[in-house]
Structure 1
Amino acid sequence: MKPIRLMSGFLTVGFWTLASRVLGFVREVMILSLIGPGPLMDAFVAAFRLPNMFRRFFAEGAFNAAFVPMFSTKLEGDEDPARFGRDALNGLALMTLMLTALAMIFMPALVWATAGGFDQERFDLTVGFGRIVFPYIFFMSLSALFSGILNATGRFAAAAAAPVLLNVMVIGAMATAHVLGADVIRWLIWAVPLAGIAQLALTWSAAASAGFALRPGWPRWSPDMRQMVRTALPAALATGVMQINLVVGQIVASQYDNAVSWLFAADRLYQLPLGVVGIAVGIVLLPDLSRKLKAGDSEGARGAYSRASEFAMALTIPSAIALIVIPLPLVSVMFQRGATGADDAAAIAVAVSVYGLGLPAFVLQKVLQPQYFARGDTKRPFYFAVAAMVINAAIAIGLAPVVSWLAPALATTVAGWAMLGLLYWGLRDKGEVVRLDARYRSRLPRIILSALIMGAVLWIAEIMLKPALGTDYVRYLALLGLILIGAAAYFGAAQVTGALRASDLRQAVRR
């Protein structure tokens, strides 16, 4: 993948991920406004987290780590990638069907294991909601496989656009229910599995257009499948370990009224830059690194890694500073309306600032993990994830008596930095391929300085705009002004410090 195509891939995935995250904000704004923190929203969050947890465990964890590199290799060689893709599709379909059937039967046990602090009302609601939304995992897991095929062939748009359908359908369902005076939560719940069907249809049709119209059949246990499972299992376990962190946090939060809803809303806010930058870079970087390492192009792999890291930090560090410096204006303008009051907004803002402290670590993990996966090394990330899980659980449970519901957010941030440190430590013997180049080492301190200057400007601007930020309707323009001031301050400082060059920006736009 040439540098221009690599950057084009970043921007394509980033654009569609940004669209998904923006629509996700609209979705969360509607949920917080029409339903609001409380038993119904807590139950929805806990129920919706179940299929997403297993989706990341089986589909994203396994196939991003094992399927994409193997499929990419077969595309470059003389083997039949379509046959391998068909075998993988059939195996994944059977596994997720069995998982869905078991979950439907044992849903009360799943809810107890993941939200044991719920009272009877929230527990019963979660069980009912969970049985409706859990089949989403089947459709999304197969969609993830077709997305892997599309990413490996360099067709990023359809795979990146698929998640947008979930938000579009959920938003449409809630808006329709509100207009008709119907039960909003019921329309919301049923929209989830229907969106999964739409996402699968989109990615399958795109893969078919790319020459991979895979048809379902009985699974075949081939040597390739054995190799993929051997590679995927540690990666799936590593991803599962990270999901355990979310479960531990939810168990702690479920003991406090509205805390599950507060942390969910805060999580969605910091997921915007994480999704746009970290996930986009990770998705595009993995197949590119796999090809370059297979071809023995160490210099090309090093350049791709350095540019991905530079791109990630240039956008992530200022985002993190903004989340730390102005969390309340962001939260109050976006979420405070309808069923969500000022106290809810203040609680969410505190959690946002804590998550902001860990944002660079979360993004850099997405940049570093392909270094392992592209080499077929999934065992060490698993061991590192286990260590991070222990740290997360110890902090979340240990600090709960001291800081109550905020403990899971603190635990997530500390564990994120610990995981990043372990990933760097594990690459210490890989030499030139993973050593960042001189351009990155020169620009990173300048990026940090530019972001700190932006933070100071934002702090002053927030004080000046505080009356407007608290006024109905005007607050939207005030927040927009605050964001534009921050962006101008950052990019202006970046030009002065040399963190970013105008020529770089022009080239990125052209690409």
Structure 2
Amino acid sequence: MNGGLYRSTHAAPDGNPHPQVGVTVVSVDGQSPTASADQALPPEELPPAGDAGEGGSTTGQSAIMAIGSLVSRMIGFVRNALIGMALGAGVGDAYTSAQFLPNQIYELLLGGILSSVLIPLLVRRRKADADGGQAFTQKLLSFAVVSLGVATALVVVAAPVITAIQASSDNSDAYRHLVTHFAYLILPIIFFTGLSALIGAVLNVRGHFAAPMWAPILNNLVVIAAAGFFLLVWGHGDLTEESITTGQIALIGIGTLAGMVVQALGLLPALRKVGFRWKFRWDPRSLGLGEIGRLAGWMLCYVAANQVAVFVMVKILNRVAGKGSASVLAFNNVFLLTMMAHGIIGVSVMTALLPKMSAAAAEGRYADVSADLTRGIKLTVAALAPISVLYAVLGKSIAVMLFEGGNYTHDQALDTGTVLTVAAFAVIPLSVSYLCTYAFYSLQGNKTVALINVPVVVVRIAAYLLLAAALSKALLAAGMTAANAVSYLVSALISLAVLRRRIGRLNLGSVAAALIRVALAAGVAAGLGYLVVHLLPGAGEPDGRIQALLPLIVGGAVIMVGYLIAATLLRVREVSQVVGMVRRKIGR
């Protein structure tokens, strides 16, 4: 519903299946709302509330997950930067387009079913069966692995057809062939992504969260090694779709596949640690596949709608792939930065509020659900506002610092910065829409989430098409990002309207007043930051990393201090709460 388009490992900056992100909210009390037919795909991965079972306390597991997520995200950005430097924009667009294919197909095959149906089912069988669900889990994994293997083989065979459908008529034959060659090597990732997610689900159901959070780091390190070796051997050159060699394609493609293989294998020791033994048991009839299919109905509606939007977006951006304009690679890099801001702030707030909202909803205390939701919105907006300002004012400096180098040219980095400037306006609507989604999950309104997602995706696709027709090719990636921002806002507005009918008054007046104060503080910070940055060398378009570093340090400091002072003078209470939360975390 929130436009988290890239749930697979490859889209996440940390290699972990999240924004779209592989584990889900699971209740361990046997009363999980995700067990009902009124279910759709949860947007983020969170540990179960309450006792963490065999894996230790929730507090301890959350700390491990938080550290793992932070480290993984940082390493993930190194991975993405090196891929861009190794391949450049044109070849990088082909590589990224090929990566979207396994992402989309995995989601349709397993991603949403795992989150919305299989994990709750494993939780119930673990509590109900005398063997703790061991035999059922073995049968389920056996069936899933065989099904994934067959589906992956069929998809790999059909790679030329799939890439032809996704390509644009404006693409050269060399570009299409390159996407297909990458796809042959990358599509087998579907199997290992599914295997990794299944193992992660078994571990999470048994209260073990550390390994699934840290294993993606192995994935990133393998890909970093492949990209680093690419740069070491071939260095900087004029790499194009026509000039790239078979060896170069094989190194990056096989390196990407090997990363996911290592991630999946890296989870096996954790399975032994929690006492699970993976024995092949073929007994599909005992799994109740008919029931699973019925439960998965709303999930398929949710996932299919999002994947249609992904298909449209990639097809539009492929019009300018390899033609000197920001395209698929730039769009994806910016999306990852957007999701990083959401992951650091929005998910932290949701993690804290979801158990409270779920408990209040279960007891019929809808006023408390409303209070928690409005408090979460105000906290999230207050915390994300300065990050949005940083992206808007320092977008080009950030992009140059993160992505320029090797075959990713200075102009390509500046184009990516333009897209990031537009993405600044998507950060807050994205997190607010996710908060509303979590409110629905606390109310067991998951069918509602799927139904709301349909008009949101319609708006997103319509915005894609309208902006693609109105904008120049150089601004297509920025236009697709703007379309996402519009759809996030629509999602939030529809969700708030439906929630108001569901739980009553939402205190939107206090929310609006808080948002106005935050907007004023952000405006002051943006004005000060813009003024300072344009007095520095480069005038907003830094010539290389050294020149980008100065506005990042000086401009970033001015923006943050300016926002804190303005927010304090405007009595934005949530800012002091966020600062206190950060201090407590640092103190721990």
Q: How does the TM-score come out when normalised to structure 1?
A: 0.85
Q: Partner of 1:430 in structure 2?
A: 502
Question: What 5-or-longer segments of structure 1 have no aligned partner?
Answer: none
* 1:384–1:422 Cα contact (<8 Å) kept: yes
For 2:175, which of 122, 139, 148 is the aligned residue? 122
C-alpha distance in 1 between matches for 2:208 and 2:512: 31
Q: Partner of 1:49 in structure 2?
A: 100
* 1:10–1:280 Cα contact (<8 Å) kept: no
For 2:78, which of 11, 26, 29 is the aligned residue? 26
Q: Partner of 1:382 in structure 2?
A: 450
Matched, 1:246 2:341: no
Q: Which amino acid aligns with 1:65?
A: S
SS in 1 for 2:425: helix
Query: Per the alignment, do residues 465 and 207 of structure 1 end up closer, same or farther by CA in structure 2, a change over 3 Å counting?
Result: farther
For 2:489, which of 383, 408, 417 is the aligned residue? 417
Matched, 1:465 2:536: yes
Query: Per the alignment, do residues 297 and 383 of structure 1 end up closer, same or farther by CA in structure 2, a change over 3 Å counting?
Result: closer
Matched, 1:17 2:87: no
1:120-166 Cα shifts (integer Å, max 9, x gaps): 11111111110111111211122223333444555433222233222
Comparing 245-254 with 143-152, greater Cα deviation is found at: 143-152
What's the offset of the Cα at 1:277? 4.0
For 2:199, which of 137, 146, 153 is the aligned residue? 146
1:163-205 Cα shifts (integer Å, max 9, x gaps): 3222221111111232244955432211122111222223343
Query: Per the alignment, do residues 229 and 347 of structure 1 end up closer, same or farther by CA in structure 2, a change over 3 Å counting?
Result: same
C-alpha distance in 2 between matches for 1:504 and 1:414: 30
Q: Partner of 1:365 in structure 2?
A: 433
* 1:245–1:392 Cα contact (<8 Å) kept: yes
* 1:151–1:287 Cα contact (<8 Å) kept: no
What's the offset of the Cα at 1:47? 0.6
Q: Which amino acid aligns with 1:456?
A: G
1:290-331 Cα shifts (integer Å, max 9, x gaps): 677668787887787567655543443332232222211111
Matched, 1:189 2:250: no
What's the offset of the Cα at 1:245? 1.4
* 2:152–2:188 Cα contact (<8 Å) kept: yes
Q: How does 1:440-451 map to 2 (within 5 A)?
A: 447-451=518-522
Comparing 154-163 with 94-103, greater Cα deviation is found at: 154-163
Q: How does 1:175-254 map to 2 (within 5 A)?
A: 175-181=228-234, 183-222=247-286, 226-254=290-318
Comparing 128-137 with 327-336, greater Cα deviation is found at: 327-336
* 1:290–1:374 Cα contact (<8 Å) kept: yes
Q: How does 1:252-291 map to 2 (within 5 A)?
A: 252-256=316-320, 257=323, 258=325, 259-278=327-346
Matched, 1:350 2:409: no
Q: Partner of 2:161 in structure 1?
A: 109
Which of the two has greater helix per residue?
Answer: 1
Comparing 299-308 with 230-239, greater Cα deviation is found at: 299-308
Identity %: 20
C-alpha distance in 2 between matches for 1:387 and 1:161: 36
Query: Per the alignment, do residues 295 and 94 of structure 1 end up closer, same or farther by CA in structure 2, a change over 3 Å counting?
Result: farther
Comparing 127-136 with 213-222, greater Cα deviation is found at: 213-222
Q: Partner of 1:156 in structure 2?
A: 209
1:347-389 Cα shifts (integer Å, max 9, x gaps): 2222222222122222233333344445654433233222222
Query: Per the alignment, do residues 28 and 116 of structure 1 end up closer, same or farther by CA in structure 2, a change over 3 Å counting?
Result: same
Q: Which amino acid aligns with 2:556?
A: I
For 2:525, which of 454, 460, 480 is the aligned residue? 454
What's the offset of the Cα at 1:422? 2.8
Q: Partner of 2:584 in structure 1?
A: 507
Q: Which amino acid aligns with 1:252?
A: I
C-alpha distance in 1 between matches for 2:94 and 2:390: 31
What's the offset of the Cα at 1:36? 0.8
Matched, 1:98 2:98: no
What's the offset of the Cα at 1:400? 1.8
Q: Which amino acid aligns with 2:148?
A: T
Q: Which amino acid aligns with 1:504?
A: M
SS in 1 for 2:101: helix
C-alpha distance in 2 between matches for 1:74 and 1:300: 32
Query: Per the alignment, do residues 264 and 23 of structure 1 end up closer, same or farther by CA in structure 2, a change over 3 Å counting?
Result: same
What's the offset of the Cα at 1:464? 3.3
SS in 2 for 1:465: coil
Query: Per the alignment, do residues 213 and 122 of structure 1 end up closer, same or farther by CA in structure 2, a change over 3 Å counting?
Result: same
For 2:463, which of 395, 418, 440 is the aligned residue? 395
C-alpha distance in 2 between matches for 1:208 and 1:382: 37
C-alpha distance in 1 between matches for 2:174 and 2:522: 46
SS in 2 for 1:464: coil
C-alpha distance in 2 between matches for 1:74 and 1:292: 26
* 1:396–1:411 Cα contact (<8 Å) kept: yes
SS in 1 for 2:88: coil
C-alpha distance in 2 between matches for 1:287 and 1:72: 18
C-alpha distance in 2 between matches for 1:369 and 1:81: 30
Q: Which amino acid aligns with 2:116?
A: A
Query: Per the alignment, do residues 391 and 279 of structure 1 end up closer, same or farther by CA in structure 2, a change over 3 Å counting?
Result: same
Query: Per the alignment, do residues 75 and 311 of structure 1 end up closer, same or farther by CA in structure 2, a change over 3 Å counting?
Result: farther
1:242-265 Cα shifts (integer Å, max 9, x gaps): 122122111111112242333233
* 2:196–2:264 Cα contact (<8 Å) kept: yes
Q: How does the TM-score come out when normalised to structure 2?
A: 0.75
C-alpha distance in 2 between matches for 1:286 and 1:61: 20
C-alpha distance in 1 between matches for 2:509 and 2:198: 37
Q: Partner of 1:479 in structure 2?
A: 552
* 1:73–1:291 Cα contact (<8 Å) kept: no
Question: What 5-or-longer segments of structure 2 have no aligned partner?
Answer: 1-48, 236-246
* 1:325–1:455 Cα contact (<8 Å) kept: yes
* 1:281–1:366 Cα contact (<8 Å) kept: no
RMSD of Structure 2 on Structure 1 (CA)? 3.7
